[in-house]
Amino acid sequence: MPVVAIVGRPNVGKSTLFNRIFGRRKALVEDFPGVTRDRNYAEVTRFERPFTLIDTGGFEPQSQERLLQQMREQSQLAIEEADLIVFLLDVQQGLTPADQEVAAMLRRVDKPVLFAINKVDGERQEQAAAEFYALGVEELFTVSAEHGLGINDLVANILDRL
């Protein structure tokens, strides 16, 4: 079964997206950043196609350096384990140096990587999300994991590239 991993900084909404795609509540979502300590796996069937979805966790790092280290490790695991990676970013937090570094790392990977911008709950955030084109990617997917916006389009594109 193909494997899809969601990676990204703490609090961008990885677990919320995982639950939204899974269709049930499994991963722990909290108002505290970095609540998913471990990796969370689910077998998901969308558009009649099964795949394994991984929610990557982490702790709340004490420093920028620890954050980067955690994201490198998380991304490296996903690169080894997954057939496709969803790199999730947060329009509220904006584009950060850690995102830039991880994006550069993921661009070198010989696997499909989808760049998805979360917390695009409305028109205002839709415009703000254009900031992420600075990552040098051709295509961005905007989603609101919390409100279920853009999810079908993202999932359809995941399945297209598996």
Binding site as annotated, residues for GTP: 8-15, 55-59, 118-121
Which of 81, 101, 121, 131 binds ligand GDP (CB under 6 A)? It is: 121
Choose the binding region for ligand GDP from 13-21, 75-83, 102-110, 150-158 (rule: CB under 6 A). 13-21
3-state secondary structure of 68: helix
Q: Is 16 near Mg ion (CB under 5 A)?
A: no
CB of 52 to ligand GDP, least distance (A): 18
**Residue keyed to tokens 């992420």:** 132
d(CA 132, CA 124): 15
Two tokens, residue 38: 């471990």
Interface with Mg ion includes 15 (CB under 5 A)? yes
Angle between helices 151-161 and 14-22 (to 10 degrees): 80
Structure token digits, residue 29: 């979502």
H or E stretch at 51: strand 49-55
Which residues are near Mg ion by CB under 5 A? 14-15, 36
Which residues are near ligand GDP by CB under 6 A? 8, 10-16, 29-31, 33-36, 118-119, 121, 144-147
